[in-house]
Structure 1
Amino acid sequence: MTPRIPGFDYQRVTVADGVALTVAVAGSGSPIVLLHGFPQTHLMWRHVAADLATDHTVICPDLRGYGDSDKPVDRDGEQYSKRTMGNDIVALAQAFGHERFALAGHDRGALVAIRTALDHPDRVTRLASLDVLPTLDMWDVMHGVTAAIGFHLYLMAQPPGLPEQLIGASPDAFFAYFLDGWTRDPQAIPADIRAAYLAACRAAVPSIVADYRASANIDIEHDRADRAAGNTLRMPVTVLQQDWGAALGFDARALWSAWAPDLRHETVTCGHFMAEESPAEIIRATRELMKR
């Protein structure tokens, strides 16, 4: 049986034509939506969500294309744009009666959160981003041999066919590479959670690839349009990142400052999966954000 977050109610919520998300909900009070990263599901928030639910309404979906949520075929190149996935989140919050909500995302979920906040500044009250750069900056800073750390970005950016075939031939080996290699504390992802992540990814190869492919195409177009128009994130923003900017030769705080005038940027000493490796630090930073 797939693990669940104890004390959370699980529902299926329709957010678009033919697309429903599986979501875990608990608590009461001001709402916050937590969006998971790759190669995970909503379960990555289990520690943080349980704490926040003591005085907030916490909404933890599996993103479109991931986990137990629907996985529409990407025939037009837009099914997994972060704009489309962000619209899912707005519809999800509305389904629970929330016109305005705080938003926190990790990795892929952070990209969805950023796009949602840019597209819907009247909806998103606060934004937290864990260990990612905005899409346009991410591609700009990766160059030379240091870009090898992001080999999967280039693989999944290729046209439909080859990436799906290569990853689908050995999905557990592919996804486990990131779960194991990006974690400083292996105990942070217990065996049952790791198995759940691998099973979910194994069943979602085409949609996961489509999500990444969108970030090399339509997502960049949307970011460029916002940058050209001078659009920024209007709400308080907290960014938590590893110090991988130093290794890749860029100033993460400076890049983020161009997008977020009201920014708090912190370096977290842990692996990539910080909500599982350093939940206390993420809880602290998120609670501080909710008071701003």
Structure 2
Amino acid sequence: MRASIPGFDYQRVTVADGVALNVAVGGAGSPIVLLHGFPQTHLMWRHVAADLAADHTVLVPDLRGYGDSDKPADTGGHTYSKRTMAADIVALASAFGHERFALAGHDRGSLVAFRAGLEHPRAISHLALLDTFPTVNMWEVLHGRAAAVGFHLYLTAQPPGLPEQMIGASADAFFGHFLDIWTNDPAAIPAEIRAAYLAASRRAVPSIVADLRASANIDLEHDQADRAAGARLSMPVTTIQQDWGAALGFDAESLWRAWAPDLENLTVRCGHFMAEEAPAEIIGALRGLLAREPVGQPVV
């Protein structure tokens, strides 16, 4: 029996031609969608989702290419662009009758959420971005010895073939490495959840590589174009991160404020997998975000 979020129902929802997402659905009230990161699945939100479901409708999908969602072959480099994946999430919410919803993303899911906030401002009422930066900023701050933390981004940026072969040959060791080194509290990811993450990632090597490869190509191009055009997130935004800005030598809050004028920036003392290591703090931050009133009207 596969791990699941207790009390949530599971559905498969078609969001694009030939692409259906696996989604856990629970609660009732104003909607919020929670997007997972790498190398995880929707299960990373299990603690947070259960709490929010007390007074919100909570949708927790596996992103395309991950978990039990469909994994289309990458064609032309756009299949796993964050633009495409953001459109998936807007279509998913719409399928449940939610044309406007709050959105929170962690890691890769944060990049999808960021793109959704830029391109679908009328759909996104509130936005939370956990432990990541826009792609254009990420490539700028990763340099020198500090860039070793993102070695997988350089590996998967290579043309198709070698990265998939190398990772696929030792998938559990590769994905397990990140679960180990990015976690301050190993008990936060119990054995059955770790096994679920590894099994899901093992089945999804080509699509996960395609998602990561997009960050060195089409996602970077989209971010560069938006920054040059002065694009901004128009909704209330909360960014949450580890205390890694000082270690890498940049001011994370200033970086984010350039994109999000209505910003609250928070730092938590835990590892990367903060929804599992510090769920009470993440729940508090999300509830605080949902209580904020949008300033002005969303822009097209």
Structure 2 SS opposite 1:72: coil
Aligned ranges 1:133-172 → 2 under 5 Å: 133-172=133-172
Q: Give the root-mean-square deviation of aligned CA atoms.
A: 0.5
Q: Which residue pairs with 1:84 in the alignment?
A: 84
Cα deviation code 1:260-280 (max 9, x no counterpart): 000000111000000000000
CA distance in 2, matches of 1:290, 1:244: 26
Taking the aligned partners of 2:96 and 2:75, their CA distance within structure 1 comes to 30
CA distance in 1, matches of 2:146, 2:27: 43
CA displacement at 1:228 relative to structure 2: 1.1
How many angstroms does 1:225 deviate by?
Answer: 1.2
Q: Secondary structure at the match of 2:258?
A: helix
Tell me the SS of whatever aligns to 1:121. coil
TM-aligned CA deviation for residue 185 of structure 1: 0.5
Instruction: Verify: 1:179 aligned to 2:176, yes or no.
Output: no
Residue aligning to 1:258: 258
Which residue in the other structure is 2:27 paired with? 27
Gaps of 5+ in 1: none
User: Residue 238 in 1 paired to residue 238 in 2?
Assistant: yes
User: What residue in structure 1 maps to residue 72 of structure 2?
Assistant: 72
SS in 1 for 2:10: strand
TM-score by length of 1: 0.99
Deviation at 1:167, TM superposition (A): 0.2
Aligned structure 1 segments of 4 or more residues deviating by more than 3 angstroms: none
Residue 126 of structure 1 aligns with which residue?
126
How far apart, in 2, do the equivalents of 1:284 and 1:40 lie? 22
How far off is 1:160 after superposition? 0.2
Match of 1:12 in 2: 12
Q: SS where residue 136 of structure 1 aligns?
A: helix
1:30 alignment partner AA: S
Report whether the alignment pairs 1:212 with 2:215. no
Shift of 1:149: 1.1
Please give the per-residue CA displacement for 1:130-156, whole angstroms capped at 9, x wherever unaligned: 100111100011111111111011001
Residues 51-100 of structure 1 deviation map (CA, whole Å, 9 limit, x = unaligned): 00000000000000000000000021000000000000000000000000
- Report the residue type matching 2:190 in the other structure: P
Match of 1:226 in 2: 226
Task: Give the Å deviation of 1:247.
Answer: 1.2
Q: What is the match of residue 97 of structure 1?
A: 97
Paired letter, 1:31? P
3-state secondary structure, aligned to 1:88: helix
Provide the rounded CA distance (Å) in 2 between the counterparts of 1:144 and 1:6. 44
Q: Secondary structure at the match of 1:259?
A: coil
Shift of 1:2: 1.2
Shift of 1:246: 1.1
| Residue 194 of structure 1: how far off its partner (Å) | 0.2
Letter of the aligned partner of 1:244 in structure 2?
Answer: W
Report what 1:276 is aligned to: 276
Identity in percent: 76
Instruction: Report the 3-state secondary structure (helix = DSSP H, G, I; strand = E; otherwise coil) of the residue aligned with 1:126.
Output: strand
Q: Secondary structure at the match of 1:74?
A: coil
User: Structure 2: which amino acid aligns with 1:36?
Assistant: H
The aligned counterpart of 1:288 is 288
Gaps of 5+ in 2: 293-300
